[in-house]
Amino acid sequence: MKLFADFETKKRFMKTGLPLIVGLAWSPIIWIVVMATLGQGVFVLTGSWFVVHAITIVITVLLIALLLRVFMRIGNRFYSEER
């Protein structure tokens, strides 16, 4: 069973789908790091763990989007065809 019909479909998936899978895979790790660094301080300010988790999730999504954008830009510099 072939997953991709041809090489172009595989290439298109690697450019668009793979960064989303990488972001999804790294999201728990980034969430734990953000929670460990900011969780207690935000809890002292707000007094609610629900608010802490909501703020942490927003920060995590923004960090993942920023990191994926940076890594995709770096990857395009190295692997672009305009050399």
Answer whether residue 21 is part of any domain: no
Does residue 50 fall inside a structural domain?
Answer: yes
How far apart are the C-alpha atoms of 63 and 70, rounded to whole Å?
10
Establish if 68 belongs to a structural domain.
yes
8 assigned to some structural domain: no
- Residue 17 included in any domain: no
Positive or negative torsion for Cα 38, 61, 28, 71: negative
Tens-digit pLDDT profile for residues 12-70 = 777 777 788 888 899 999 999 999 999 999 999 999 999 999 999 999 999 999 998 88
Parent domain of 53: 26-75
Q: How confident is the model at residue 81 (pLDDT cuts 50, 70, 90)?
A: low
- Go through 14-53 and write b for each residue having 16 or more CB atoms within 10 A of its CB, e for each that does not: eeeeebeeebeeeeeebbeebbeeebeebeeeeeeeeebe
Residue 81 within any structural domain of the chain? no
Residue 2 lies in a domain: no
Number of domains in the chain: 1
